[in-house]
Amino acid sequence: MKLTVFGATGQVGLQVIKQALWQQHEVTAFGRNVFDIKMDDPNLHLFKGALFDEEDVAAVLQDSNAVISAIGGAFDGSDKARSLGIKTIIAQMKKAGIRRIIALGGMGILNADEDTLLMDTPSYPAEYIPVGNEHRKAYEYLRDSDLDCTFVCSPDIINDGPTGNYITSHNYPPAPNRYKINAGDLAQFMLNELEKNEYVKARVGISAV
């Protein structure tokens, strides 16, 4: 499979690339600092570009089969990389005829109940609201796009490799929930989901066990 990875230089993006190459996928990593990636593999291609530049995004998507987005940004919500970046990617995916995208977001946009998101409950930590709003906008763009999207709603991310010991659930936090997950396990789930397609057009709750 030919994959394009956005947010390639972050902790989850780097894990996605490592594991995708091990699985013999052809990977194109996209980003401003993408040449900081020091991996020597003939199936890895580095594309230096700007996330808000439509021409750059269109160019990197040529011949791709699917997209994985691990876009990060400021925790205080002061930049719009997560939301407007996804909006740009969606537009160019549609033009290129690419339908499958798996994107990383935050746990706050999972359901607390049928009518309320976790981030809209009174007990949700106020310091997570700004970044939660970015995740909410990114998810809404994906939900309304009609693409075959999966939105992975991560708790706190530990910068460590895969263990394979995690649980997932549709649209709600998993139970039990340890409120943390390794970057490597997020990457493992995202790549497995490309093959299994168990969470198409859904949010995913995930937690270490």
* Whole-number average pLDDT of the chain: 97
Which fold, 2-208? Rossmann fold (3.40.50)
**pLDDT digits 0-9 by tens, 137-190:** 999 999 999 999 999 999 999 999 999 999 999 999 999 999 999 999 999 999
User: Which residue in 146, 81, 202, 147 sits closest to 189, CA to CA?
Assistant: 202
- Residue 56 above 90 pLDDT? yes
- The domains of the chain are located at 2-208
Q: Mean per-residue pLDDT for 59-82?
A: 92
Q: State if pTM tops 0.85.
A: yes
